[in-house]
A and B are shown apart, each in its own frame.
Chain A
Amino acid sequence: MDRKLIGKRVVRNEDPRLLTGHAQFVDDVHLPGMLHAAFLRSEYAHARLLKVDVSKARQHPGVVAVFTAEDMGKDWFPGPPLVSPPPTVKDVVFHSRRQVPLAKDKIRHAGEAIAVVIAESRYIAEDAVEEIEVEYEPLPVVLDLEQALQPDSPLVHDDLESNLAARLSQKKGDYEAARRQADVIVKRRIVIERGAAAAMENRGIVAHWDAQSEHLTIWDTTQAPIPIRNGTAARLGLSEHQVRVIAPFIGGGFGPKIMMFYPEEMVIPWAAKQLNRPVKWIEDRRENFYATTQERGQIHDVEMALSRDGRVLGLKDDFLHDTGAYDPYGLTIPLNTQSHNMGGYDIRNYSSEFKVVFTNRIIATPVRGAGRPHGIFVIERMMDAAARELGMDPIELRKRNLIPPDAFPYEHQIIDQAFAPLILDSGNYKAVVDKALEIIGYEKFIKEEQPRLRREGKYVGIGVVPFIETTGVGPYEGARVTVEASGKVNVTTGIGTQGQGHFTSFAQIVAEQLGVKVSDVRIVTGDTSEFHWGTGTFASRGAVVAGSAVHAAAKSVRQKVLKLASKVLEAPEEELELEDGAVRVADIPQKSISLGELAVLANPLRGAVEPGTEPGLESTSYYGPQYGATAFGTHAMILEVDPQTMMIKIRRYVVAEDCGTVLNPLILEGQIHGGVSMGLGNAYYEKLHVDENGQLLNASFADYLLVSSTEMPRIEVAHLETPSPLNELGAKGVGEAGAIPVPALFAQALENAFYDRKLEVLEMPLSPNRLFELLREAQENEKSV
């Protein structure tokens, strides 16, 4: 299809507002009479709560109210389960234990909220928090995933027999049979630790109860305004039409902003209604480390069965997943890991069991990648270990096992995170790998450059890692497209936006259909009063699912435009074209009518609308895929390591990406750049250090290292397009893609840089210190052999 706007590097509609400081964020909301909240949070990771005395805090001048769990009375109950366990899998175990608004009786992670002070200013609220007296009885903490499952472990939830939150196994083919046929079995233990999502904007909520209109308005840094609206209405006994949730501009979501419900999301609206005053709470950075969800803690025991000629006959991966103190997000993360364990490879026999473990840490919910980086890390590390074992080039081994282009749709015979069958819809995987190899100059680097650099005393390695990303999952999203009398177009959808460029890419989709300027399409996201139905922005699904709904609604409006214009211009619809904000007869361009004039005619003030028609040039459409679209990509990097300091320099970074139809390369590249920076953080910088008592030791950006602009490499991006057959746009998601392969890529490049020192990387994240230790261990192993 010949496209005028889709696929073009259109600059972003939203940027002028963002760059000039005119975009509204939650903390920009100021209401008359607004109060400010601060939370008292537990200093202990695991303790009985013996006494909470708030009497002094209540007397503090300027304090309006102090609430504890007791004070919430019958309104105190846990948050809803976000995702239920998959019903279709045999013998699944799932114990649902959800977070509570304020802790009662027991503390299960350091930072769990115990009480809230609401005062005339945040300063006063913080001061009064310090006057609350809490008596704890500290309990032994549960941190280590393996020890947590031992029979003598202390329990995070006393009413359960153990700390096992869930167990699920999935099988494809017959791994044991594959193992018997194999020439080589490679076994490894792989450990991945937690990091923070560290969005630039912390969380925040403003709640305003208008007693006269009995209407509650909430500004919330949420990725899922509609579910928050629905859940808040249910919690407070209100109609969904009495609650409006606005998710304005948000400084990064990355997953944790879709944890329904955070304690603060349960407490602040409730308190605003109790007090009949607007209440604001803005999370500070230290709270963000203690009270915002995190991800990535897993331990894998993996086995790969191969034939001598490098065919992967089977894969077995049993793993533990750290869910933290509660498990409101169900099995999304470990299911994603299970679905990405086979990467883009044609592996016929697979067996995987995971156990989800309660620990005394903050709840784990998806963070950009959401279990996928783990799956890719596992399969790609195993590929490299197997290549060494077989004495084969690691790229050649991968190529021998990639799913061939004629095998799509490729059914994996297991279920994915949405409980839908894991089917890889389309792709041309080898072409993408070849593209990355070509751009980075793999052969030349290995044969010429690396030996030359080594002679100069430089340790420089190359890595090439292919990966899949399941994206664009259901259930559905919707959109309403309206041509207004001004000739401009208004579009509303139920999802929220945290920087993905929806105001531009959705506008391009609409402009493509209606022949208007992209800047004449106004997009509204994240306001429940504008669109009633939807789920949210997660799982790299905005462009695919909401984008497809926008596309369907725009097409439907186009039909209405053509029908009406055909009548007005007295010309058949086939002869009409939509250009420059008008409809004209293709051969007689002077015979035309503007969209604005048509919109007025479609909504007459007198006369009658014809039976069977609707007023206005407006349409609402929904899109829900049967299963998700799966993107594919390959990252390649050339990494230099200083063998003295272990500091690194990325000399080249190449991304070859096939996420189906590219809507806007500029936005796509921005998404990839952001993803790569998070991936690099997960590989070499970001790690949450927790001591043996569950105390987080680096809860500030002085101690928790984020990748900054000076560490970021220049990224060369190439696009290949295999449109998804699952939606008309042919789109596949890309929001998380940048982050997914990076730890695996980094590990491979490190090993390659130290090719003669038998370095093997089986853990993430690393750091210069840890790399130094690993090299020393490798050296000692070498000596002892």
Chain B
Amino acid sequence: MNGIIIGQFIPGDGFFYKVDPRSKIAGIFFLMIAVFLLKDIYQVLGALLLTFGLLIIGKISFIKVLKGLKPIFILLIFTFVFQILINRQGNILVDTNLNISLINIGLVIILFVIWRFLAKFKKFNFLLFLGFLFGSIFIFIYSSFSFDYNLTSFNLQIYEKGIEMSIFVVIRLLIIITLSTILTLTTKPTDLTQGLESLLSPLKKIGFNSEDFALIISISLRYIPTIFDEANKIMQAQASRGADFSEGKLKEKLKQVISLLIPMFIIAFMRSEELADAMESRNFVPGKARTRIHELNYSYRDVLVTAFTVVFFAVALLFRLNVLGY
């Protein structure tokens, strides 16, 4: 299987591509902590603007970052709704009764069917989803018919602080994900491991060998495509003997996965034995001092990144301690 991309790295030549992985990792780590130090919505909005600024400086397209957001989209919506419903501080903004009745439910089901039907037009998937969401909320709040059978109803209250907090939390998540996307988009997996190795090297004093750790990670990364290839071959071999990986009940599927996993494990062990032989015969001794072909070099860019991080962190800390206030 060629061209499997491990991680999200996309080759390019923006500002952040040339920053040393060590300063990138450390910088983003401290920026994330700083974002958690911020206390109110204006501060996180400022932080969000700064993050967008970073994207513009790094010439990273917003679309790529949005793609990175996709997997956690549900989480974002859930957090948003949860915060709105839970928080009961500040002025009350909305106070209505939600009626759940036969006609309501019927209408929502019809809306759902329309949504799924239109979902074929993949381009507007997101808009359609929003349409469905707000459509159903609208139906629950405003539809009331005199001849309706009301099943149950409850009181929906939305407070000022609730909306503020939900926006606050969502923005904070957005910033953190955007920051980590900047790191993974612009750093090769190998550089990432080497940066981690270098940053973790002080841990040698407590018996953690970061060099071995980095070697383990880089070898695992190197073998992911090989193992995928192997899995494909085994799946084809099993399929040619009548195994069907796509259909069947859960129990059957589980059985088929086992018929894939056991040979995979055996092959992986044999591989690792041969690899160990190959490494040893090339004079590899765990824990022995080695030189490195890859070199990490600091440049003026790293000074900039570090300075930005320090200032951002300091300001966030001062906000937190109420030294800077308004």
Specify whether A and B are partners: no
